[in-house]
């Protein structure tokens, strides 16, 4: 699929709606976070400012501030390589020192650790610090990565396979609990489909983008959110509860107005972490209904760090998508994605045992692995990279079946040589090839 953004005003409206919907939800929820201001059961929330900041009327909080950092990097250089992930973390570190408001405890702890490490390997340092925190506490499934994940979806409208990888890696930079990554992957795919199709996706139908072992749990959580109202899921600092509260608000709107307005009303009335739940819901609602569904009063008021307003978010969202479409030509073809997923499902390490050209491996590569790429003339090349950095071509062929068989055989052989007592399983059955669908 090749996006033609300029020729489809509806698509452009939905693209702009993602960041604007999230920011307006954030600013709408700010005054009422953790009971900062009273809100009667039938009273519509308003952008009155205050909250934990205190904030000016219409000012967004750390939810949108962190998302803006991701979006600016995505607009400038995409999110397809390690330096881009490093730039995201550097942007967050700079924000922490100069513009952050109401920063989550976990996020502050991880980024504070990284701040003194220097400019190199920032993503690796940040994710390692997050992993260490998770090992020590086992409690790193906060909602702090889900609240900022929307720009990742915009960066990969043309490439769902890489979206799955990038959403989890951007989450892992501060939140290493697998459930936090799952939530970001799931919500990003929902945003992507909403932007492309203009309808609310079946969230439970998207769980097969997640690891098989957790798909059933997520299906149960989503169904529960569809059955019950948002306030049931407070407190919602836990990422699962935050996603449930946001999805429940979308499915159980309250009050008068457009679907976006009434669902954001429901999100704020959920209580507890109101700005975050409304920001999460707002990103998906904006993707479905577009920026044109947001009240002009909100658009006139909404603003925040680093000195941006509604039109700036419109422009930023478009630039993220334009850069993503421009860079999508460098993605791995579908058949290469499929064989990479086959090897991952068998337990092989991407970047350690094998690498597919065009897929992101931000944790760095082994000095020895089997590589696969599609050349400009359409042929496939399988090669071996040795310990001393010397590359040896194993096969170059136009026959995909031949290239695939050789790539799998050599990758398994290398993995067995490294771990001789390890029995490499066959790929689990029943997996839908979701990357072949839009």
**pLDDT on residue 424:** 85
Q: Across the chain, how many H-helices and E-strands are there?
A: 16, 6
Q: CA 89 to CA 83: how far, in whole Å?
A: 10
**pLDDT on residue 436:** 34
Cis peptide bond prior to 54, omega within 30° of 0? yes
Helix (H, G, I), strand (E, B) or coil at 190: helix
307: left (phi over 0), alpha (psi -120 to 50) or beta: left
> Under a CB-based contact definition with an 8 Å cutoff, are residues 122 and 86 in contact?
yes
Which two tokens mark 45? 């929330």
Q: CA 168 to CA 432: how far, in whole Å?
A: 20
**pLDDT on residue 434:** 35
Q: How many CB atoms lie within 10 A of CB 28?
A: 29
**pLDDT on residue 6:** 65
- The CATH number of the domain covering residues in 8-330: 1.10.4080.10
What does the pLDDT profile of the chain (438 residues) look like in tens digits? 456 666 689 999 999 999 999 999 999 999 999 999 999 999 999 999 999 988 999 999 999 999 999 999 999 999 998 899 999 999 999 999 887 888 888 999 999 988 876 666 899 899 999 999 999 998 899 999 999 999 999 999 999 999 999 999 999 999 999 999 999 999 999 999 999 999 999 999 999 999 989 999 999 999 999 999 999 999 999 999 999 999 999 999 999 999 999 999 999 999 999 999 999 999 999 999 999 999 999 999 999 999 999 999 999 999 999 999 999 888 889 899 999 989 988 989 999 999 999 888 877 788 899 999 999 899 999 999 988 778 999 999 999 999 999 999 999 999 999 998 888 887 665 444 433 333
* Long-range contacts formed by 199-204: CB under 8 A, 24+ apart: 199/288, 200/250, 200/284, 200/288, 203/247
Domain locations in the chain? 8-330, 334-436
**Burial class of residue 121, CB neighbours in 10 A (0-12, 13-18, 19+):** middle
Q: CA 335 to CA 255: how far, in whole Å?
A: 48
């Amino acid at each position: 699929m090749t996006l033609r953004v300029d020729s489809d005003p509806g698509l452009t409206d939905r693209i702009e709606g993602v960041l604007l919907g999230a920011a307006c939800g954030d600013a709408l929820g700010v005054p009422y976070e953790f009971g900062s201001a009273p809100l009667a059961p039938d009273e519509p929330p308003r952008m009155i400012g205050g909250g934990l900041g205190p904030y000016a009327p219409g000012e967004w909080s750390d939810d949108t501030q962190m998302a803006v950092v991701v979006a600016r990097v995505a607009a400038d250089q995409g999110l397809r390589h390690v330096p881009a992930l490093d730039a995201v973390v550097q942007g967050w570190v700079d924000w922490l020192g100069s513009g952050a408001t109401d920063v989550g405890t976990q996020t502050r702890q991880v980024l504070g650790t990284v701040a003194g490490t220097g400019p190199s390997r920032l993503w690796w340092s940040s994710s390692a610090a997050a992993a260490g925190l998770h090992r020590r506490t086992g409690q790193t499934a906060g909602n702090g990565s889900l609240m900022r994940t929307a720009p990742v979806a915009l960066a990969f409208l043309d490439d769902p396979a890489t979206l799955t990888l990038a959403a989890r890696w951007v989450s892992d930079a501060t939140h290493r609990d697998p459930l936090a990554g799952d939530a970001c992957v799931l919500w990003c795919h929902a945003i992507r489909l909403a932007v492309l199709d203009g309808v609310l996706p079946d969230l439970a139908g998207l769980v097969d983008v997640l690891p098989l072992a957790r798909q059933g749990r997520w299906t149960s959580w989503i169904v529960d959110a569809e059955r019950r109202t948002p306030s049931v899921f407070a407190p919602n600092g836990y990422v699962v509860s935050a996603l449930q509260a946001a999805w429940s608000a979308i499915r159980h709107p309250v009050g008068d107005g457009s679907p976006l307005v009434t669902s954001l009303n429901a999100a704020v009335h959920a209580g507890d972490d109101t700005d975050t739940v409304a920001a999460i819901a707002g990103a998906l609602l904006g993707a479905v209904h577009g920026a044109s569904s947001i009240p002009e009063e909100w658009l006139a008021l909404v603003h925040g760090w680093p000195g941006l307003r509604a039109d700036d978010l419109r422009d930023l969202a478009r630039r993220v998508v334009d850069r993503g479409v421009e860079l999508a030509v460098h993605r791995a073809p579908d058949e290469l994605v499929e064989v990479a997923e086959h090897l991952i499902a068998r337990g092989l390490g991407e970047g350690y045992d094998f690498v597919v050209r065009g897929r992101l491996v931000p944790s760095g590569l082994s000095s020895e692995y089997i590589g696969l790429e599609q050349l400009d003339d359409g042929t496939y090349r399988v090669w071996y990279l040795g310990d001393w950095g010397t590359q040896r071509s194993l096969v170059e062929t136009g026959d995909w079946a031949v290239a695939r068989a050789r790539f799998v055989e050599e990758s398994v052989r290398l993995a067995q040589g490294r771990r001789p007592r390890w029995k490499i399983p066959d790929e689990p059955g029943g997996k839908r090839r979701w990357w072949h669908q839009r």
